[in-house]
Amino acid sequence: MVDRNLNETFRSAKYVTREGIEVYIPPSGFDWRSIQSFPAVIDPYGESTTQEFPLGTRLGYGEQVFRYTLCGGTGIEVGALCQAVVPLAGHIAEALGINAIGDTTVSFTPNTATTDDVTANELQDGYFFVYDDTGEGQKMRILSHPAITGGAAGVITLIDPFRLAKGLAHKKEQRRREDILMLSDCPQCLKPSLFYDKIHDGYECLNIVCLYTLAGESVGH
């Protein structure tokens, strides 16, 4: 396999605070070291107006596991689910040219000028999905990209190299931990409850419980 597109600055790392909190920082194009050195104390419930770690950074505090996320909404109710940003039509099901094995860049052109613009690194730490009509596909973590505006093409730089040398048909960008959307099938349940369970075989199990019927299910991701 071709090496991932990372230098020492952007590689993953594990740390332990002086209070015994374990922190795993994932591979990312976000240079958190230029903002701060690793802190001796971290508040798992803390907030900040500027980003301090890559999205998806994992923090273990006793039996609890936290993820570093971005919330750009206003008037957020504590303990309630927040609706995710509606995906822009120009960011999904787009034509994609041929890429060679080992490529770590891909050209992206928003489908609609202005309305589908992205600011610089808006999709950083998200995933770039590529798939074709026969079920073959790849998922690659996004390292960085410039602002892409006016329906003009821009280059997205990936951490993970292409593994298939094919002209694949579609692509999708998703920033996994910026917002989360979960919908209940029950019309009476306006605020389903969710909580993380143990990690089984490397998968995090998310339990979703309808507060009206008390029925639940578990999904992994």
The domain ranges of the chain are: 8-67, 182-221
pLDDT at residue 19 greater than cutoff 70 = yes
pLDDT at residue 115 greater than cutoff 80 = no
SS3 assignment, position 172: strand
Residue 18 binned pLDDT confidence (cut-offs 50, 70, 90): confident
What is the average per-residue pLDDT within 198-214? 47
pLDDT at residue 39 greater than cutoff 60 = yes
Residue 48 CB neighbour total at 10 angstroms: 8
pLDDT at residue 182 greater than cutoff 60 = no
pLDDT at 58: 92
State the pTM of this model. 0.62
Residue 184 binned pLDDT confidence (cut-offs 50, 70, 90): very low
Residue 190: CB partners within 8 Å, gap ≥ 6?
Answer: none
Cα→Cα distances 140→73, 85, 98, 158, 167, Å:
27, 21, 16, 7, 16
Q: What does the longest C-alpha to C-alpha distance in the chain come to? A: 51
Sheet of 193-200: strand order equals 193-200, 203-209, 216-220
pLDDT at residue 78 greater than cutoff 60 = yes
Residue 97 binned pLDDT confidence (cut-offs 50, 70, 90): low
Structural contact between residues 163 and 99, judged by C-beta atoms closer than 8 angstroms: no
Tell me how many degrees the CA angle 168-173-175 measures, rounded to the nearest 5: 150
Phi, psi of 97 (to 5 degrees): -80, -170
Residue 165 binned pLDDT confidence (cut-offs 50, 70, 90): low
The burial class, CB within 10 Å (0-12 / 13-18 / 19+), for 64 is exposed
